[in-house]
Every structure is written in C-alpha cells, then in structure tokens.
C-alpha cells in the first residue's frame, strides 16, 4: 500500500491523475479541435446527451459552472446545430436542451473513444481494482 502521507507519494498521485486525464481526453480533444471545439463543448454535449430535455439550470448544476461560462460554448453548439433549445411546455421561461441527430453522432463518437479506453483499462486491472477506482472517483467527485 502506498503511504500517501509522504509528499513524494502525494505528488506522484497528482501527476498520475494529470497524466491519466490527458490520455483520457487526447483523442476526443483531437476530434473536437477539428471542429473548432474544446473540452467545455464536450462536457456540454455529454451531459445534454445523458439528460435529453434537461433545462439550462439542470445543465448548470451538472457542470457546476456559471451561466457566463456556459453561455458562449452553448450558443456555439446551438449555432452549429449540435444542440437544440426549445421552451418548456410547462413554463415558457425555461429552455430545454436536446442533442440534434448530428450532435448525437458527435457525442457518441467522443464518448465511444473514451469508453473504449476505460474498458481496456478495466480489463487490464481487473474487477477489484475497477470497483476501487469507481469508489475513489465518487469520493473525488463528491469532494469528500
């Protein structure tokens, strides 16, 4: 077991997280870059794809960003016809978001590349490590 009280071990863990994230995003970033898009666009596409007809407020909560940070990339995705926005039937002030067919294809391509990477990693490390990784990511994501 690694002694994470050691500064060197903590720094190695940080470095591995950075390097792992770079590997995880590399191919998706390349595909996005060809379209003039970046990681913010990817996150928006992903979460809108996961929750069709979610409101902008729902998306802000999922991404934990400000309206200002969301405004430009979302407007670009709508302008590129990757996301469509429509008024809620229940409240005309609420905008609902959904991927267009083109947006669905792009999101599936980006997520597919990353899913394959995770599948390969999980095959290599085995189910016990996969379970521990999921627990660790949940703890990290929840800020605990």
Task: Name the residue with higher pLDDT: 143 or 117.
Answer: 117
Residue 95 bridge partners (DSSP): 87
What is the model's pLDDT at position 5? 64
What average pLDDT does range 109-129 have in this prediction? 94
Does residue 144 surpass a pLDDT of 60? no
Q: Which CATH architecture has domain 7-141?
A: Orthogonal Bundle (1.10)
Q: Give the Cα separation of 54 and 119 in Å (integer).
A: 28
| pLDDT tens-digit series, residues 9-46 | 999 999 999 999 999 999 999 999 999 999 999 999 99
Whether the CB-CB separation of 88 and 96 falls below 8 Å is answered with yes
- Where along the chain do its domains lie? 7-141
Give CA torsion, residues 41, 44, 46, 48, to 10 deg: -140
Does residue 131 surpass a pLDDT of 60? yes
Q: What is the rounded average pLDDT for all residues in the chain?
A: 92
Task: Name the residue with higher pLDDT: 1 or 84.
Answer: 84
Query: Which position has the token pair 């379209």?
Result: 35
Task: Name the residue with higher pLDDT: 89 or 62.
Answer: 62
């Amino acid at each position: 077991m690694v002694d994470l009280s050691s500064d060197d071990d903590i720094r190695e863990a940080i470095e591995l997280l950075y390097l792992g994230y770079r590997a995880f995003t590399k191919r998706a970033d390349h595909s996005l870059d060809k379209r003039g898009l970046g990681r913010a666009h990817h996150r928006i596409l992903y979460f809108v794809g996961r929750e069709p007809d979610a409101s902008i407020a729902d998306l802000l909560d999922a991404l934990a960003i400000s309206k200002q940070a969301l405004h430009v990339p979302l407007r670009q995705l709508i302008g590129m016809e990757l996301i469509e926005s429509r008024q809620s039937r229940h409240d005309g002030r609420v905008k609902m978001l959904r991927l267009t067919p083109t947006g669905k294809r792009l999101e599936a391509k980006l997520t597919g590349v990353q899913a394959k990477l995770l599948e390969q990693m999980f095959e290599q490390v085995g189910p016990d490590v996969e379970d521990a990784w999921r627990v660790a990511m949940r703890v990290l994501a929840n800020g605990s």
